Amino acid sequence: MAALERTIPLPHAVHLSRTLAPLRHGRYDPTMWLREDAAWRATRTPEGPATVHLAVAGGRVVVRAWGPGGAWAVDAAPDLVGASDDTSGFRPRHPLVAELARRSPGLRIPRSQAVVEALVPTVLAQKVTGVEAARAYVAIVRAFGERAPGPAGDAGLRLPPCPVRLAAAPSCAFHPLGIERKRADTIRRLCGTAARVEEVTGVPPGLARRRLQALPGIGPWTAAEVALVSLGDADAVPLDDFHLPHQVSWALAGEARGDDTRMLELLAPFAGHRGRVLRHLAVAGIRAPRFGPRMPVRSIASI
């Protein structure tokens, strides 16, 4: 299978692995391989399945793509790597945020334009630990995904699950994968209206988040997580997160504990770029002090 190839000049620095990291769901995500300056990603485009390889060097990104959706993936590559991410209004006055932005000029907000692909693993992450969510996503890809187009498919890269297959599967098919009925039914409903869900890529991010929240099973946390990676929404703030308010309060005010109200208050000076600030804090590895036991990892499949 021949690859399509294009070299695209970048208008600003792009750190590929930091930019694309939110698109990978755990270290063992079989739909994406990520290195410091290169990435393999399998995706389902409006024109069909595709595998895309990205490599950044010398102010350019070299894109190669395989599969029926290869041409679409090549055209979408600049948005994917954050080439269209506008940081012109981001002038942080907070000393820590300013320093983090100085250290990571290549950290950009990606825009995958693949809403359902972002929704499925995000729904899996609702109310569970990151380990559980990553494990469930790997399981669902193994069960419902297919070999990715091109040579990477021979090496184990897999496509995300087809929405049609997920919508048609009974709830009981998800239980052995570590996914209880509530999350399974949310995924099945969303995938049953996948075409309608994808329409939010054509509206402003704020409106897109509101439309996503109108869907059953999608709250502000899920909508923001999805908008950040699929819509390039640099202002998305996930509410109702267990750790995030503490992280923001600790980083920006030296307060070990916070809530959503306090988090939004501290992020208010960064309006338009609040999600960008959260990405900088995450990349820097800043965490609030822990005072209690961690949430235990459960095994839904054994229940």
Residue 295: per-residue pLDDT: 52
**Residue 236 DSSP code:** -
State the pLDDT at residue 294: 56
The C-alpha atoms of residue 32 and residue 50 are separated, in whole angstroms, by 12
- The predicted-structure confidence for 23-80, as pLDDT tens digits, reads as follows 999 999 999 999 988 999 999 999 999 999 999 988 999 999 999 999 999 999 999 9
Residue 284's alpha-carbon distances to 4, 103, 279, in angstroms, are 36, 9, 8
Structure-token match 């299978």, residue found: 1
Per-residue confidence (pLDDT) for residue 293, from 0 to 100:
55
Can you tell me the mean pLDDT for 257-268? 98
| Mean pLDDT computed over 127-135 | 93
pLDDT, residue 166, reads: 98
Q: What is the pLDDT of residue 296?
A: 58
Given a contact cutoff of 8 angstroms between Cβ atoms, the answer to whether 158 and 145 are in contact is yes
Residue 300, pLDDT above cutoff 60: no
Q: What is the pLDDT of residue 78?
A: 96
What is the rounded distance in angstroms from the CA atom of residue 81 to the CA atom of residue 78?
A: 5
CB 263 within 8 A of CB 83: no
Specify whether the backbone of 285 is left (phi greater than 0), alpha (psi in -120 to 50) or beta: left
Q: What is the pTM of this model?
A: 0.92
Q: What is the pLDDT of residues 198-211, one digit of tens each?
A: 999 999 999 999 99
Task: Please give the Cα distance from 43 to 54 (Å, whole number).
Answer: 13
The candidate with the shortest Cα–Cα distance to 153, out of 269, 31, 59, is: 31
Residue 138 predicted with pLDDT over 50: yes
* Confidence band, pLDDT 50/70/90 cuts, at residue 303: very low
Give the helix ranges, DSSP H, for 150-236: 151-154, 163-168, 181-192, 194-198, 205-213, 220-230
Given a cut of 50, whether residue 302 has pLDDT beyond it is no
DSSP-assigned letter for residue 7: E
Q: In terms of Cα–Cα distance, which of 54, 76, 53, 74 is closest to 155?
A: 53
% of the chain beyond a pLDDT of 90:
92
DSSP states of 86-150 as a string?
A: --TT----SHHHHHHHHH-TT--------HHHHHHHHHHTTTS-HHHHHHHHHHHHHHH--BPSS
pLDDT tens digits, residue range 3-36? 999 999 999 999 999 999 999 999 999 999 999 8
Listed in sequence order, the residues at least 6 apart from 181 whose beta carbon sits closer than 8 Å to its beta carbon are 171, 174, 175
pLDDT of residue 2: 84
Only one residue has tokens 């997580």, namely 225
Q: Average pLDDT over the chain, rounded to whole? A: 94
Coarse DSSP helix, strand, coil percentages of the chain, rounded to the nearest 5 percent: 50, 10, 40
| pLDDT beyond 70 at 299 | no
